[in-house]
Each structure stands twice: as C-alpha cells, then as structure tokens.
Structure 1
C-alpha cells in the first residue's frame, strides 16, 4: 500500500467516526424532519390497523382479531388504498414536528450533560420529555385528522376536508382535547425510549462511532419497550381523538383522560387497556428502528457535507 493510499484510508476512517457533540442545531432539525417522514409513511398501514383495533364502538366488519386478519379484510373489502387513508396528514405534520422533536432533544441533552461519558439516564429522559412537549403542539391536530380518516367508514377524503368539518362540528378544541392525554402518554414513552436507546447504543457501540447496525437495533428495541409500557394511555388517546365519529353518547361526551379510562374500564375491564398492543409494538419496533437509522444517517452525512463545504 502506497503512502498516499494509506493516508486516504486513515482519512476515511476518521471521517466515519461518531458525530460528536458539536453537530449544528439546524442539521439535527433537518435530519429529524427526514427521519419523521420516513418513519410514519413506511409504517402507516399498521398504524391504521392499530387505530381501528382501539376504537371501542367499532362495527362487526371493523372488528379484527389480529394484524394479519385486519390487513386481509381491509384490502379485500375496502381496497388496498384504504390502508393509506390519512397518510397525507401524518406526512404534513411529521416533518416540522420531528424537526422540533430532535432539535429540542439534542439541545436539552447537551445542556443537561447527557453527552458526558457513562449512562446519563436522567438527562436523556428529561431531554426526551422536553422534546415531546414541544413537538406535540405541532403534531396533535394532524394526529386527530389522521385518526378520523383512518376509521372504518370515514367520509373524509382529504386533510383539508376533514379539518374543515371537524372544526365546523366541534370547534378548535377537538384538535387538542387529547393533548393532555397525548402528553401523559408521550412523555413517559419518549423518556423510556430515549433512555433505553442511549443505553443500548452505548452498550453495543462504546466507541460512539456511526454504526447503522447499532442505531437500527437499539432503535427497534427501545421502541418496542416504550410502546408496550404506554399502550393503555394510547387506547385512551384514541378514544378521545375519534369520539366525534362515535354514535355512543358516553364516548361522544368524554371530556378528558379520566372519562376515557372510566369508559374503557366499564366496557371491557383491564384487558380493554391492551387493545391494539400487538400492532402498536409492531408499529413502533420497526418504525423506531427506521427513525433512528434515518436520523443518525442523515445527521452524519449532512454534518460531513457541511464540513467539506
């Protein structure tokens, strides 16, 4: 090997090392936006099934015993396009929401010492919670629209049409009635997810170098753990976000998380809080893996490109 070839090899190895703690804020936000869109769009059909399985007053044709049955029935009775109904809403919201999400996470984690050596559980958990509070302000209305469009028999065919009709019938409050429940679910979700992710990443890859295998594995594992832990809160959130389409007076009049928990407990007991557990885990395990793989990848390559400008 010539000295010139050896020098190039050394430079490539150095360039491949970890991102470090000085990645510019705007790169974190751009990478987060790309990651959010990739994650939500890729796993949307499974997310639609999760929504339908969590609706308490579903018709017999929209009652499913599992993910495979749901995929088969929806495709045969409603057409494959039905699996993607509402995807435009999540794409429109995921970009800016995830830009804020990851930008806030990296900024707060760095400020609170999360980039120091060792497992900084408190810092990563606090940074994840802060990221959720900021990003859900943007995402919650789009999530409401998405779930209204995902419901069986939904008459909404576009994001604008759905938003207009929901606002006319229920007012602005409809877009944020689930916000406290969303935070009650998302704050512990992100605290668990980020803590588990950072822990798994450091265990698997102590050097901190850019490692796609590490990011995808740690991301999938952290997503599955966080999704399973927070499923009961997600069932309550779905009830509140879809109550305007329900014919059940008790569900339509539910005003918050306590009402949602009471209705679920009365109707189905404790097992009602596990509705949609399988599709939720099946959604968040690969989507979280894809999200972290995309985020870390975009962040690495955008940062390298800026360095070379």
Structure 2
C-alpha cells in the first residue's frame, strides 16, 4: 500500500510542471482522438440543418460527410482545439493540484470538499483559455463553413463581431463544465472504489472508470452543450431577427422555440460516443504520467524520513 499511496499523491518533489505536462498530454489526446465524432455532434445540434446535412444517426452522418465532402472535413478545426487544449489542460491540472494541496495540507480541509473546490476553480481558468478555441472549432465544423482555416475564422470573428464573440458562450460553458466535472469526478471515484480498491496503477480500470464517468457526465449536461453550440455558431440569427443570440436563457428559449424539448438532446448519442473513449483516454494518459513521474522520482532521491502522503485522488478534466 505504501507504493500505492506514493502514486496517488505524487511525491513531494513534484513540481507544477509535472502536472502541466501530464495535463497537457491528456488534454490534447482527449480532444483529438475522437474529433470526427465531435464534428458530427456539432452538426447534429444545428437548429436549422441544411437538407444536405440532415443526418439520421452517427454512422449516417460520418458516411455522408466522407462521401460528400471528403474525409478531411471530419477534422476541420482540429488545429484550434489542439492549440487550445494543451495550455487549457495544463492550466487546469496545475491549478487543481496546487489548490487541492493547499486546502488539504495547509487548511486541513476535508478531501472531498477540497477536490470539489479545486475542480471548480480550475475549471474557470481552463474555460477562459478553451472558450475561444471552442468557438473557432465549432464554426469550422458546421456544414458549409465559409472559413478556410482556423486563423481565417478567428480573424473574421474578431473583425466582424468583436472579441466578445469568443466569450458569448462562456457563462453557459462554465455552467455546463462545473456539474460535468462534479459528475465525472464522483463517478470515476466510485468506479475506482469498485474496480481498483487499493488505488494502484491499473490502466484497464482507469480507462473503464473514465469512460463510464464521461458517459454519465455527458448525458447529465447535454442540454447545456446544445445551448453552448448555438451561442458559439450563431447559425440561425437571421430567422430570429436579432443580431446575435446572447446569454444562456436566450439560447434555451431559442432551442425550445425551434425544436421543443427534444432539441435539448440532439446529438446525445454522438456526444456520449465521443466522451466514452476521450474521457477514458484522458484519465489513462494522466494516470500513466502520474505513475511514471512518481516512479522516476521514487527511484531517485527520497529523504530518509519520507513517509507516504495521505490518500488523495487526482482528477483530470
């Protein structure tokens, strides 16, 4: 159990860069590995789809995109999410671990409260970086997107709509991500209690627990994701007779006006299919880096009086 405790807490010699490297690697892989499915999810959430982009299912959507537009269109906008995910997740993990450590070791806060508080604060910093990347990504993913590149998209948005366009969905994104993280963290910890009671490094249990956690969190926050997509893409403004859809309440009303209750769950299957492997991989990569870096430092110099740290669990985005 001593080795397990050392692994779970990371050695005291670990620096902020350790968490940043592990988090950045996990974030980039999480968002990249299932990107074509994320593209389908965005298109299926369109309130007024083009007849050529009226998809019946995930497989039907992927088939039509590849057949009609070419396989490269399934990854349009990936440069934006990759460039945003690295620094956003690095910031997230660094903030999470530092705040959690201070709350538990300095303020003697209950570990569950510390995890939740640290996760919420870290999410704010993560979304500040990631939100503009999401705006560009989703506009690139839409059917018939007029933008040639991510840089072209970003420049056009800035010129025509101003910098505020990159944060029009920030409140919705934050409102979605905080419960998303809570559900994900809780589910992951519960699954680890069932599958990996000694909390040792076990890749199979990490990826299974992460996948289940991602599916549960994605389902619970689906209506907010639909509204976030609407705020990011602004794809039907002309029909609403307003310049832009602003704010979460306006997005909820617009979705209901066009599609009723069912509109809040359009693309649910695609989102769940995306989150299961991507969240599982995120946990797997983060836990691997944590194990590798812990083992590397443990094999090197450790003080004679080093004692195992109290059991805590780290939680990726």
TM-score by length of 2: 0.86
CA contact (8 A) 2:48 2:236 kept: no
Tell me how far apart the structure 1 counterparts of residues 73 and 226 of structure 2 sit (CA, whole Å).
22
Matched, 1:229 2:220: yes
Q: How far apart, CA to CA, are the structure 2 residues paired with 1:245 and 1:291?
A: 34
> Which is worse superposed, 255-264 or 154-163?
154-163
Q: Does 1:284 align with 2:275?
A: yes
The ranges of structure 1 where at least 4 consecutive aligned residues each deviate by more than 6 angstroms after the TM superposition are 13-17
Counterpart residue number, 1:298: 289
| Matching of residue 125 in structure 1 with residue 116 in structure 2 | yes
2:158 aligns to what?
167
Q: Identify which of 2, 21, 28 aligns with 2:9.
A: 21
The DSSP-based 3-state class of the residue aligned with 2:9 is coil
**Distance between the aligned counterparts of 2:182 and 2:294, measured in 1?**
26
Q: Secondary structure at the match of 2:224?
A: helix
Q: How does 1:211-250 map to 2 (within 5 A)?
A: 211-243=202-234, 246-250=237-241
Cα distance in 2 for partners of 1:94, 1:246 equals 29
Please state if 1:80 is matched with 2:80. Answer: no
CA 1:193–1:164: 2 relative to 1, 3 Å: same
**By how many angstroms is 1:18 displaced?**
5.4
Report SS of the residue matched to 1:19: helix
Change (3 A) 1:220 1:134: same
| CA gap 1:275/1:251 in 2 versus in 1, 3 angstroms | farther
RMSD, aligned CA: 2.1
The more displaced of 16-25 and 258-267 is 16-25
Mapping 1:153-232, distance limit 5 Å: 153-232=144-223
CA distance in structure 2 between the aligned counterparts of 1:105 and 1:199, rounded to whole angstroms: 20
Deviation of 1:272 (Å): 0.8
Residues 199, 180 of structure 1: alpha-carbon distance in 2 compared, 3 angstrom cutoff: same
**Conserved? CA contact 1:49–1:279, under 8 Å:** yes
Aligned residues, how many? 293
Decide which moves more: 235-244 or 98-107.
98-107
Rounded to whole Å, the distance in 2 between the matches of 1:214 and 1:144 is 34
Name the structure, 1 or 2, with higher relative contact order (CA <8 Å, separation 6+).
2
Structure 1 residue 111: Cα displacement: 3.5
Distance in 1 (alpha carbons) for counterparts of 2:47 and 2:41: 12
After superposition, the C-alpha distances for 1:57-97 in whole angstroms (9 at most, x for unaligned) are: 22111121110000000000000000010000000000010
Q: Secondary structure in 1 aligned to 2:8?
A: coil
Structure 1, unpaired ranges of 5+: 1-12
Contact 1:124-1:198 at 8 Å conserved across structures: no
Give unmatched runs, 5+ long, in structure 2: 301-317
Superposition deviation, residue 112 in structure 1:
3.7
- Residue equivalent to 2:304: none
If the length of structure 1 is used for normalisation, what is the TM-score?
0.89
- Residues 233 and 250 (structure 1), Cα distance of their counterparts in 2 relative to 1, 3 Å cut: farther
Please give the secondary structure, in 2, of the residue aligned with 1:197.
Answer: helix
